[in-house]
Chain A
């Protein structure tokens, strides 16, 4: 098992290296001049030339790449043109917001995705199943962007139940910053009101992010359970005279969960990228809005930084799932 993990980690480093290569040259391929954004659209040619020099853009591209890698290996992602601060610092500050959003969305997916899948499998063929299926089609087919806007229109504009944007109400300062995760920070401070406020602000963006995936997971779960129900061991259980409920909960569920686990892990990574759009709509101060701003402003190093961090998390979660798999499924453990 340990060997497997080490091997995966090793591979991971190569993936990251490849990523820097692809990203670096891709961003440089775009026929635009980052110095223009840095110096201002109204800058005169001399000012632009100076800015190019300052940003190291006057050097050959391979030298630029080597310089970048040299900094990267020392943990330096470079400086952002937008914020003039180290990109690692920007990302460190913004990452908790995104992770909190994605985390809550993920919990929603687990709870509702598995729940709906269960219900659907339990009442398979019945109208509840039909309804769940309809919901799944709707969920998978709804563009995340449209859904976010609709949720704001319904729950903020019409019903006035939930806030539309941000992590906190305007004019309210964050809790004492311990982790940057407001839910966690407010729990640590035992500030229940703050906890509720944070939760309120999370409901709409997290639901928009989660809905499509709830639909997906519920379908996979239900399918997986139904597949299990046709296997011999379930037939044996039925023959023993066990009740349907017991069969599903005690026997089928455990085995049906395996494929779902893989997808759940992948979803976490996908949601990190999905959060780009959601953060844009909900003015969420995470890495999604940061990424969009860096693209619009052609902040090359910031674009690279965000992409690397997302990749890092994506691969990390994948690794984690694979390792978890080994624990959950003895068959994998034996092979691995």
Chain B
């Protein structure tokens, strides 16, 4: 039996392992066991034989080569020739414990150069959450966004790690003065994975499809009216109302193949939703080969990619590893190249490993504690302001984020264009909090608040709650903490009278614009069950301003409105304690080159720019 050449090293490694301390110890124990037996009586030999054979079997199983089916690919390699290795293996356990067991491994003589590992040209990464759909027109959850970038392109894309836009499938774009029409000139000679040409028809189909399906993604382009095909490579997208953030949304509005829609649509499913659920037909640098639900997805390189083929030769594999701790161990063990969910504690540990780069950048996600503005003591804005002064922000950044985050300054993350610079960084001031509580009629506190957080022992929501609880205890206020899964948590907030007083909440902007921090969280119509206004905030001026700014074409005027919105929220309403903007943390093996952590892409990976030349 010939073992594939790549396995030689491992056999050698296993041979070395045979002499480990553990085994010696085990042997000694067995030995003693045997002597003990002799001194007592002669029976029980069978038993020990069985034990010995089991031990030997375990060792053999452990030392067996690990990958028999090497991915069949002819790769030319210039790596040093591995010397001829003769491997003979012997497991000798001292008598009289068991008879000597000799396990022979075949001698492998190899004249050919050793090829690199079977995964050396494949980018492997672990993901903690299961994708719910591969269809970018249905939803834009974290997992979907993460893989959509493999398969699809938008009309525009973000330039590297910045929030600046640059051409992708559109080469030029302009907006009409009234902000209602966007004209795009399209890239010629681009082909979808299924051979379908990219043209104006594709753009029209994509946008009509998103609004036709009318699920999650459609929420982003609620002002979409129609696409007018000017010629094969030019389109005009008409909106019902101006949307200055429209271009910012385009990198994640992925263009799909109209041929695939045509080929897979049915009478009940005119937009081929069922097919796109687990298939991909885009223009992106990788093609979807297989998606094994809840386990892994496998891609291969698309050689005709319009920017030229990607540097990763074989493709990518994403495996589902729900336990984050195990993800890190896999990264350290060299099994995966990239880890996307890195906790701050893990980041510190991983950073000490010379083979691993930890990539930390300023984030745009925001964590806050929403306060029920309609019920209980928190209905008084003074008490809510007292809460803001009571919170220990420095402790939070240290304890909950391991120093990897910054203190939030109001409802919009500072990294997002449109942030109000006038909003100061908050800090803890218990005296000030006491004063405000006294003014509100609670000089010694004396009330209890209920706070709901997500489960997870190291989670920011739990730790933030603990910090708040400690601070409030000093003011005579009791904080009761309760842990619930997200869907169950937000469902508690259907009625202000019965809703809890506080809840932790993350705001994950889908695109870098204040819309993403304001719409869905603070307007009257965003109260449950419509969206996430868990504060039950209802301020007509604010509602009006938030809606107006979304449609304001003049950047200066829009900024003015945005500043006013942020000021009202910060100074007057205080529906939340805006706590932190956690850094975005990812980790890569050192052999991954060209990776950049891009918070504006929200955890998606710039697979196209990555190369794996050094990967063994």
Residue positions of A touching B, CB distance < 8 A: 30-34, 36-37, 39-48, 50-51, 81-85, 90, 94, 111, 115, 118-119, 122-123, 126, 128, 149, 152-153, 156-157, 159-166, 169-173, 191, 193-194, 196-197, 199-200, 203, 243-246, 280-283, 285, 289-290, 292-293, 295-298
Contacts and interface: CB of A to CB of B under 8 A. Distances in A.
B122 A171 contact: yes
Contact of B488 (A31, A48, A159, A164): A31
A289 B322 contact: yes
B322 A280 contact: yes
Given A83-B293, A171-B118, A200 B320 contact: no
B317 A171 contact: yes
B268 to A, nearest CB: 11
Contacts of A160: 13, 333
B215 interface: yes
Nearest to A126: B36
Given A40-B141, A119-B47, A297 B330 contact: no
A37 B326 contact: no
Given A173-B69, A203-B61, A85 B293 contact: yes
B294 A83 contact: yes
Given A128-B33, A193-B64, A290-B294, A118 B47 contact: yes
B164 interface: no
Interface string B312-334: 00000101111101100110110
Contact of B325 (A149, A156, A245, A282): A149
A149 B321 CA distance: 13
Nearest to A172: B69
A162 B59 CA distance: 11
A244 B40 CA distance: 11
Contacts of A244: 41, 43
B254 to A, nearest CB: 15
Given A44-B218, A47-B216, A197-B65, 18 more contacts: A32-B485, A36-B529, A39-B215, A40-B139, A47-B215, A81-B132, A82-B293, A83-B294, A90-B293, A163-B335, A164-B330, A164-B335, A245-B41, A280-B322, A281-B323, A290-B294, A296-B485, A298-B487
Contacts of B71: 171
B285 interface: no
A42 B219 contact: yes
A128 B333 contact: no
Contacts of A199: 61, 64
A297 B320 contact: no
A43 B214 CA distance: 8
A114 B175 CA distance: 78
Contact of A50 (B214, B277, B492): B214
B64 A33 contact: no
Contact of B321 (A47, A51, A171, A283): A283
Contacts of A173: 69
A172 B47 contact: no
A40 B329 contact: no
B190 interface: no
A32 B488 CA distance: 4
B130 A293 contact: yes
B265 to A, nearest CB: 16
A316 to B, nearest CB: 25
A123 B325 CA distance: 41
A193 B10 CA distance: 14
B274 interface: yes
A153 B329 contact: yes
Nearest to A195: B64
Contact of A283 (B61, B67, B319): B319
Contacts of B216: 39-43, 47
Interface in B104-147: 118-119, 122, 124, 130, 132-133, 138-141
Contacts of A295: 485
Interface in B35-72: 36, 41, 43-44, 47, 50-51, 54, 58, 61-69, 71
A157 B140 CA distance: 35
Given A44-B219, A164-B326, A171-B122, A82 B321 contact: no
A82 B130 contact: yes
A270 B59 CA distance: 29
26 contacts: A31-B491, A32-B488, A41-B139, A42-B140, A43-B139, A44-B219, A47-B214, A82-B293, A83-B294, A115-B50, A115-B51, A128-B33, A149-B325, A157-B329, A159-B17, A170-B317, A171-B118, A194-B69, A200-B61, A244-B41, A246-B43, A280-B323, A281-B326, A283-B326, A289-B320, A297-B130
Contacts of A194: 68-69
Contacts of A162: 62
Report, nearest first, the 3 A-B pairs whose CB atoms are least far apart.
Answer: A40-B216, A245-B43, A40-B139
B66 A200 contact: yes
B77 interface: no
Interface string B519-559: 01000000001100000000000000000000000000000
Contacts of B17: 159, 161
Contacts of B3: 193
Given A47-B219, A161-B17, A197 B66 contact: yes
Interface in B404-441: none
Interface range, B side: 35 or more
A169 B67 contact: yes
A243 B132 contact: no
Given A193-B64, A196-B61, A283-B326, A43 B124 contact: no
Interface in B480-536: 485, 487-488, 490-492, 494, 510, 520, 529-530
A295 B211 CA distance: 30
B267 interface: no
A48 B487 CA distance: 14
A173 B274 CA distance: 26
A297 B47 CA distance: 50
B13 to A, nearest CB: 7
Interface in B199-233: 214-220, 222
Kindly name the residue among A30, A46, A172 whose own CB sees the greatest number of chain B CB atoms within 10 A: A172
A46 B492 CA distance: 21
A165 B47 contact: no
Interface in B316-357: 317, 319-323, 325-326, 329-330, 332-333, 335-336
Contact of A157 (B220, B222, B333): B333
Contacts of A196: 61, 64-65
A289 to B, nearest CB: 6
B75 interface: no
B295 interface: yes
Contacts of B25: none
B441 to A, nearest CB: 32
Contact of B329 (A36, A156, A159): A156
B415 to A, nearest CB: 20
A115 B64 contact: no
A116 B64 CA distance: 27
B593 to A, nearest CB: 21
A165 B293 contact: no
Given A169-B66, A170-B335, A281-B323, A164 B329 contact: yes
B330 A111 contact: no
A82 B293 CA distance: 9
Contacts of B332: 157
Contacts of B67: 169, 171-172, 197
Contacts of B530: 44-45, 48
A123 B39 CA distance: 12
B69 A44 contact: no
B330 A197 contact: no
B292 interface: yes
Kindly name the residue among B68, B214, B218 whose own CB sees the greatest number of chain A CB atoms within 10 A: B68
A43 B323 contact: no
Contacts of B215: 39-40, 43, 47, 51
Given A40-B139, A84-B277, A200-B66, A245 B326 contact: no
